[in-house]
Amino acid sequence: MAFGKASGICPLGTASSMLISKTASLGNYYETMTYKMKSICIKVTFFLSFLLLLQAAFGQDWNQLDAELKTRQKALGNNVVMMVWKNDTLAFKRELGDFNSKTQAPIASCSKWLTAALVMMFVDEGKISLDEKVGKYIPELDRYGKSYITFRHCLSHLTGIEDEGKFLKKLFQRKKYSSLEEEVNSFAAREIRANAGQDFWYGNIGLNIAGRALEVISKKRFDVLIKQKLFNPLAMRRSTFTTLDNSAVNPSGGAMSTPDDYMQFLVMLLNKGQYKGKKILREESINEMMKVMTNPSIIKYAPEVAQGYNYALGAWVLEEKDGKATALASPGLFGTWPVVDFCRKYAYLVFVKNLITEERAEVQKELLGFINKDIQASCP
C-alpha cells in the first residue's frame, strides 16, 4: 500500500534517537536540524494516518465503481462522463467514449434546477417572494383569471393550467413561438385543469412562467439574465440558454452545459449556497428548495422514470425525511442525471446525450445505489 511505504521515509523512535546521538558532536546546528526533521516526520506520519482514516470513514471503492460504470457504458449510450464530488474535492471522474468533462450538450430538464436557483436569487434579493402572485408581473394571467398562481406553484408544477401532453408534441409546439413572452401569454389563455396547488403535472408551463416573470422584473432576456447572475459567478463559461435559431428561450428545458460546469452548480447546492467562498444563495433558500411540495395523491402526470417520487422546487425528491428532501435529482430527457445527496454529502453527475429510457434510468439508480451502500451514513 502506498501509504505504508511512506513510513520508511520518516522513521521515528529508535532511528530518530540514533540520528540525534550521531549528530550531537557536530554541534547545535545539526541537532536543531535533526529536531526539525523529526518534527516534520511526525507531521507527515500524522497526515498519512489521517488520510487512511478518511479513506476508511468514506469506505468507497472507486476502482470498483469504475468497473461498474464500464459494464454499463453501452447501456448508457457509450459516450459518458461520470463525476462524484465528496469531501470538498472531486473524488471520482471517468470519461468514456467521445465525451469529456468539457463536452457541451443539451441537458433538457436538468435546466429546471438552474431556473429554480435563479428564482431563489431574486427571493434572496427581496425582489419577489415564493408565495407572491406571478400575475403581478404577467398581466395576461390576470386577464384570463389565473391571478392566484404563485412562484411556488410554478417551480413545483402545480399551476393547474392544461398541459400540451406528451413530450414530442410539446417539442414541436414550442417551435412556433418567437419569444418567451409569446409562449407564456399562450399558457395564460389555456383552460384550467385543476386548482393551483392541488394537481401536479410535470411539464414546461410553470418554470417558463416563472422565467418570464424574471424577464419582466429585470428587463432582460432570460438567457442573458441567468448568464449574468448564475453562470458567471459559478464560472459556468460553457453553459447557456441562448438558442441558435432565435426561437423562444426555454427556462424549463433549453440549457446547454458541460459536466464541469454543471458539477460546479451541484457543488454550490451541496455547500448550501456557497461556491469557492462566494455566497451564491442563502442557506435558507437552499433549504426552501429542499421542501417536498407534493404527495402521491396529487401527482397526475410524471414521466415513467420519475414515477413514485415526490417533487420539490425544480427537482425530484429521491429521499426525504419529515417533509424535507435529503437527496434531490433533476434528470433530463437526453439522459443526463444530476444528484445532490445532502445526507451523505456528495454530488453525483452522469452526463450523456441520448433519450432516457426505463432501462437507462435503472442503470442510473444501480450506480447511485452502489455509491450509497458504501458511504457510512444514517440516511433514509
185-195 pLDDT, tens digit each: 999 999 999 99
How far apart are alpha carbons 114 and 145 in whole angstroms? 29
Whether the predicted pLDDT of 40 surpasses 90: no
pLDDT tens string 346-358: 999 999 988 777 7
CA 126 from chain center: how many Å? 24
Which cell goes with 7? 513510513
How far apart are alpha carbons 118 and 252 in whole angstroms? 12
Whether the predicted pLDDT of 2 surpasses 60: no
CA 63 from chain center: how many Å? 24
Which cell goes with 63? 476502482
pLDDT tens string 4-13: 333 333 433 4
Q: Which among 234, 236, 277 is positioned nearest to 256, based on CA atoms?
A: 236
Whether the predicted pLDDT of 50 surpasses 50: no
H-helix or E-strand containing 93?
strand 89-96
Look at residue 45 in the predicted model and tell me its pLDDT.
Answer: 44
Q: How high is the mean pLDDT of the chain? A: 85
Tell me which of 9 and 81 has the higher pLDDT: 81
Which cell goes with 371? 455509491
162 confidence band (pLDDT: 50, 70, 90): very high
How far apart are alpha carbons 39 and 79 in whole angstroms? 49
Tell me which of 176 and 152 has the higher pLDDT: 152
- The domains of the chain are located at 2-53, 62-374
Look at residue 359 in the predicted model and tell me its pLDDT.
Answer: 81
169 confidence band (pLDDT: 50, 70, 90): low
Report residue 247: phi and psi, to 5°.
-80, 180
Q: Which among 338, 340, 336 is positioned nearest to 360, based on CA atoms?
A: 336
Whether the predicted pLDDT of 265 surpasses 80: yes
Q: Out of 1.10.150.20, 3.40.710.10, 3.40.250.10, 3.40.50.150, which CATH number does the structure's domain 62-374 have?
A: 3.40.710.10
Look at residue 32 in the predicted model and tell me its pLDDT.
Answer: 47
- Residue-wise burial string across 336-365, b where 16 or more C-beta atoms lie within 10 A, e elsewhere: bbbbbbbbbbbbbbbbbbbebeeebbebbe
95 confidence band (pLDDT: 50, 70, 90): very high
How far apart are alpha carbons 95 and 72 in whole angstroms? 13
Q: Which among 274, 268, 208, 283 is positioned nearest to 241, based on CA atoms?
A: 208
Q: If 0-12 CB within 10 Å is exposed, 13-18 middle and 19+ buried, where does residue 265 land?
A: buried
How far apart are alpha carbons 204 and 141 in whole angstroms? 16
Whether the predicted pLDDT of 43 surpasses 60: no
60 confidence band (pLDDT: 50, 70, 90): low
Q: Which among 319, 312, 315 is positioned nearest to 337, based on CA atoms?
A: 315
Q: What is the mean pLDDT of residues 62-76?
A: 91
155 confidence band (pLDDT: 50, 70, 90): very high
Q: What is the mean pLDDT of residues 41-67?
A: 54
How far apart are alpha carbons 191 and 1 in whole angstroms? 67
pLDDT tens string 225-235: 999 999 999 99
Half-sphere exposure of 308 (CA within 13 A, CB side): 4
Whether the predicted pLDDT of 343 surpasses 80: yes
Radius of gyration of the chain (CA): 25
**Contact (Cβ atoms closer than 8 angstroms) between residue 327 and residue 318:** yes
Look at residue 174 in the predicted model and tell me its pLDDT.
Answer: 57
Q: What is the mean pLDDT of residues 298-322?
A: 95
Whether the predicted pLDDT of 248 surpasses 60: yes
Whether the predicted pLDDT of 237 surpasses 70: yes
Which cell goes with 80? 459518458
Q: What is the mean pLDDT of residues 153-173?
A: 77
How far apart are alpha carbons 180 and 202 in whole angstroms? 19
With the CA atoms of 111, 113, 117 and 118 taken in that order, what torsion angle do they form, in degrees rounded to the nearest 10? Answer: 20
Whether the predicted pLDDT of 34 surpasses 60: no
Provide CB contacts within 8 A for 190, sequence distance 6+.
161, 162
Tell me which of 59 and 317 has the higher pLDDT: 317
Q: Give me the percent of the chain exceeding a pLDDT of 90.
A: 68
Look at residue 274 in the predicted model and tell me its pLDDT.
Answer: 97
Look at residue 1 in the predicted model and tell me its pLDDT.
Answer: 33
DSSP-assigned letters across all residues of 276-322: TTEESS-HHHHHHHTB----GGGEEE--GGGTT-EE-SSSEEEEEET
